[in-house]
Structure 1
Amino acid sequence: MAQVEEKPELFPLIADVVNKAHAGDEEDTDARPLEEIESLCMQCGEQGVTRMMLTSIPFFREVIVMSFRCEHCGHSNNEIQSAGKIRPEGTMYTVKVLNRGDLDRQLIRSEACSINIPEFQLVLPPSRGQLTTVEGLLRNIVADLGVQQPLRRIQDEKAYAKIQEIIDGLKEIIADDEDEDEGKDKPEKRALSKEDPVIRAITITLDDPSGNSFLEFVGSMSDLKWNMRTYERSLEQSRQLGLAPPVEDAEENAVDETEQLGGPNEEVFEFPGICSRCGRPLITRMKKVSIPYFKDTLIMSTNCEDCGYRDNEIKSGAAISEHGKRITLKVEDRDDLSRDILKSDTSGLSIPEIDLVLHPGTLGGRFTTLEGILDQVYEELTEKVFNTGDSGVVDVDDRAEFQEFLRKLKQVKNAEIPFTLILDDPLANSHVQNLYAPDPDPNMEIVTYERTWQQNEDLGLNDMNVESYSAGDDTKDGATESQMS
C-alpha cells in the first residue's frame, strides 16, 4: 500500500513554532521556523535581513509576522500581515482595562485599523500592522508621543502640556516610572500581580473595516470586559481597502449594465444599481404581490453576485391609509405558528405575557410566518444583546433575569404556552393571515383607530400636501394683489 506523504503545515500554531525553535538543533536549518531574506535598508541603502514567520493565532486566523533589521545602521522594523481570506464585514473590538492582567491581552492590529482610547480623547489613525499586547501598545504610544516633546515645549507650550498629560497618564497605567527620580531613595515596592487594579481604568477600541484585527478575550467569548461586533463596510471603506472600483469606474459600469438590461421579466421589474458593499453593479428586482383579503404589496430583492451581499424589503403598494390598525392574535397551538404574517417597517410588535416590546422599525419589513418572525427575534436577542455595548457593567441579577426572559421567549416560539401577539401599525400596512377567511377569525381581533398628531408627525404626514396646489397659489396671489391695491 502506498504511503500518503504528509504535507508540512504552512501556518502552525504560534506556541508550536516557539517550542520547535527551542527544541530544534541550531545546525539544523530545516528546523528553523523563520525564513530569512536579504532586503534593502531604506535608511542607509545597505543590505539588511527580513525574517518572516508564518503562524496561526488561536481563535483568529493565519498571519505573517515580519521583522527587518539592518546591521549597518541599526534600523529595525516589525510588521504583521493577514494571510487569511478577506472578511465580508468589518470588526470592532472593545476591552476594559481594569487590572494589570488586562495589560497582557494579545493584540493584532492590521494596517487598516484605527484605535480609540476615549478616556484620553486619543485616536490613532491606521498605521502599519503589529502583533503586541495591550501594554506593548501603550508603551509604543508613549514612545511615539515623546519623540517631538522637546520641540513642542519650545514651539507650542499648550500642545506640549496636553500631550505630556497623556504620556504621564499612560505611564501610570503601565507603572512605567523607572526613569523618574533617579538617584533618590525610593521605598521598596511589592511585586505587582495580575489582580492588582490599574491606577486609571481605560477603554481600548479597535475599529477595523477589513476585519483583520484581533483583541484577545480571557477564558471565553463571554468575557465581561471584552466585546466584539461586526458591521457592514460602507462603500467608501471598501474603496479605501481596494475592494471596490473608483467612483468613475462604478458609474461607467452602471451605465453599461443599464444598456444591457431589457424590459421587465413578466411581472418582475429589474433596476440597475451599485452594491453598497463592494461598489460593483447589481440588479434590484421588484414584484407586486396581491395578498388575499389585504392589499397590494411590493417585494424588493437585491443580490450581488460579486460579494454575495443580499437584502430583502417589503413595502406597501397601496395609498396611505387614513387610519391605523391594531391586530391582536390569540395563539393557542402550533397551527397558529404557520400563519403568514406581514410586518411593515412602521409596525410595532409586542407579546404582553413575556413583556416583549419591539418598537416600529425593529427588524424592518418582513413577510414570513409567525414562527419565522419569532425565531428571528430570538436569534437577534440571543446573539447580540450581551455581545454589544458596555458588557462590563452587566449586573449578575440582570443577566439572570434576561436568561429567564429568553427561556420564556423560547417557550413562546415553540407554542408551548398560550400567548397574545399584537401588531400595532399606524399606517395599517401589516397583516396576519385569517385561517377562517372570508369568515371572521375567532382568535383574531382587528381594530382601526385615528392616528394621533404625534404619530402623523413621526410619519411625516402633517406637512404633506398632495392636492389643491393651484388653488393655494391663486389664493396667495389674490391676497398679494389685494395688499398691493
Structure 2
Amino acid sequence: MADTTDTDCVDTSSDNKPLFRDLTGDIDDQETTEIDDTLCMNCHESGTTRLLMTRIPYFREVVLMSFDCPHCNFSNNELQPASTIQDQGVRVTLKVETSKDLNRQVVKGESASLSIPELDFEVPSNSQKGVLTTVEGVIDRAVRGLEQEQPIRRTMDPATAEKIDAFIEKLRGLTDVKTPFTLVLDDPTGNSFVENPFAPSKDKNVTLVHYPRTSEQNIQLGLPAENEDVPTGPGEDDAENLADEVLSFNTNCPNCQSPVPTNMKVVDIPYFKQVIIMATTCDRCGHRSNEVKSASGVAEKGRRMTLNMTDPSDLTRDVLKSETCTVCIPELDFELSLSYGIGGKFTTLEGLVIDIKEQLEKNAFCLGDSSTDTGGNKMKEFLGKLAEKNPKLTSSVILQIADGKRMVHIELDDPAGNSYLQNVYAPDPDPELVVEDYVRNHEQNEDLGLNQMRTENYAEDN
C-alpha cells in the first residue's frame, strides 16, 4: 500500500478550515497532499502524486492532480471536478480574435468534447482526462495527441501520416491568430468553464448556453434516462402542507464539502409569485448560504426592473434575484451577468450590493497569482473605483451605496421573469420603480433552453 504524507494538509477537525480554498500567490500556503510510491505507467517505477483541492472563482471546486516520476522524468497533470453533475449541460463558444485570447484559462472536464469548426476538428468526449489549462494549451494538447502515433503511421500508412502532418501544421498555425477561429467546449455535466478576462464587464467573445441533457447523455453519465421511473415528491394531497413545512435534506457544504443539512421552504411573495428558498448552515466551517428557485417555471415574458434610489430606506427593499438575472449599476458602468453571477438570492438591496462587492474581491483570475497584467489591472482599477473615498465621507463608493449615502440606479434584468424588487407602495404604482415586461429574443430563449422545448401534442409522437 502506498504511503501518504500530508504537506500543510487541511485539518478540518482542529482548525475548521474549509477543504477547498482559493489559490494564493504563495506556494507555501497551498494545502497539498502527497502520495508516495505511486506506480509510474511509463517505466513502472515509483513516483509521487500531489493533490491540490481548490476553488475556481465564478465556477466551482476542483481537484488538481500532478504526477512526477524521478526515474524516467515522466509527468502528468489531471483535473477532476469535485462538485456534482449540474442540472443542465453547458456549451461554451469562444471567438479567438487576438493572442490575448490564447491566454484565457480553460477548465475542460473529462466528459467535455472540444471542437474547432473552421478546421472541422473535434476531440470527442471521454477521450482525454480533465485539465486546467489555457486556450493555447488546449491546442498544444491536441497537437501532441495527433503526433503520438505518427512514427508508426509513417511506416505503416505514409499517405495518412502525410495528411495528419499537414493538419497538425494547420493546428499550430492557429496560435499565430492570423485569422480568428472558434473554440467550442460542450460538457453534458456542466462542469467546464472558460475564463472571462473582462470581469466584471460582459464578455462579448463568449457565448454560454445551458441545455437539458438528452436521454443518451444521461445514460452515459450514469443518470436515469428521461423515460425512466424516478422517485417523486409529495402528491397533490400534500401540496397544501408544503407551504407550512420546512423540509430538510442532506447535502454537502459548498465551502468545505462537509455533510450538512439543507432546509427548504415554499414561500409566497406578495404581489409576485411562489418561490422555494433553500438555506444551508455548516457547523464545521461556519459557511452560510441561501438560494432561491422559482416554483412556477419560466415566465411568458422577461422582466426588467429599474429602481432610482432616492432615500436610504430603499436599501431595506426585499430583492429576489434569480440565477438568470443580470444586475447593472449604470453610474459605475457595472454589469454582473448571469455567466459570472452570484446565483439565486433572496435578500435586501443592501445585502445584494455587499454580495456583489465580495464576489468581485474573490476573483482570483484577475487579482491572484493566476491573473494577467491586463485583466488584473482592469479589475484592480474597477475595485479601486469602488473603494474610492469621498473627501466628505470616510466610506468607499460601494459602502456609500450600501449605507445609503450615495444614490444610484439599480437595474435587474431577468429574461426568465423570475426576479422581484419590492414595491413599497403596493398595490399602488411605485414612482421610483420602473417595471418593463418584454418579449425575449431568440438568443435569450436559447440560453433558457426554450427553443427546442415542446409542451404540447406529446401523444402524437408516441
TM, length-normalised to structure 1: 0.45
TM, length-normalised to structure 2: 0.47
Greater C-alpha Rg: 1
Higher relative contact order (CA 8 A, sep 6+): 2
